Amino acid sequence: MAHGHTITIEETDAHVRVVHGDQVLAETDRALLLRETGCPPRYYLPPEDVRLDLLTASDTSTHCPFKGDATYWSLPDAPDLVWAYPDPKPDVRQIKDHLCFYAPQVS
């Protein structure tokens, strides 16, 4: 990790629910909470708890020097709404294949 840049990942018992329009896209009590310097905390959800059938794989990919290469999924009216790291760097291997949404509801 770069000097001064940290990433922590912890299991959380928060209830995370993702709703877009009137559709529930994901709901889980097994999210991972990732905190990264300079970024808002993000919840990464296990794929079993995400309605992948509603999402379409996107051509978008991004590279994070700390986490690796991300792939994205879209809804018809919400491009690149969801991302995941299929082959994350060793320091963050817990998030492998977990999906992250921009704006989940957490309770």
Angle at 79 between CA 77 and CA 85, to 5 degrees: 140
Per cent of the chain over pLDDT 70 is 96
Kindly list the domain boundaries of the chain, sorted by start residue: 7-106
pLDDT tens for each residue of 21-30 = 899 999 999 9
> Which pLDDT does position 2 carry in this prediction?
54
- The CATH architecture assigned to 7-106 reads Beta Complex (2.170)
